[in-house]
A = this chain, B = another copy of it.
Amino acid sequence: MKLRVSPDTFPPRGHEAKRISIVDAAASVFCREGFSGANIDLIAAEAGVSRQTIYNHHGDKEKLFVAIVRDLTERCNAGIFATIATFPDQPKDLEADLIGFAVRMNRNCICNRDGRFLRKLIQTEGERYPELFAEWREQGPGRTWPALAARFARLAYAGFLSIEDPDVAARQFLALANAELQTTFMLGGTPQDDEVLQSATSGVRTFLRAFGRQKPAPHATKQGALASA
How far, in whole Å, are A211 and B207 apart by their CA atoms in the complex?
Answer: 10
- Residues of chain A at interface, number, CB under 8 A: 38
How far, in whole Å, are A172 and B208 apart by their CA atoms in the complex?
Answer: 13
Q: Per a CB cutoff under 8 Å, which of B35, B123, B137, B182 touches A175?
A: B182
Which of A185-211 touch B at CB < 8 Å? 186-188, 202-203, 206-207, 209-211
Q: A33-B36, A36-B36, A210-B206 are in contact. Are A122 and B171 (CB under 8 A)?
A: no
Give me 12 A-to-B residue pairs in the complex whose CB atoms sit less than 8 angstroms apart, sorted by A's number: A37-B37, A123-B124, A123-B187, A126-B186, A126-B187, A141-B183, A172-B179, A175-B176, A175-B179, A206-B211, A207-B210, A209-B209
On A, residues with C-beta under 8 Å from B are 32-37, 119-120, 122-124, 126-127, 133, 137, 141, 165, 168, 171-172, 174-176, 178-180, 182-183, 186-188, 202-203, 206-207, 209-211
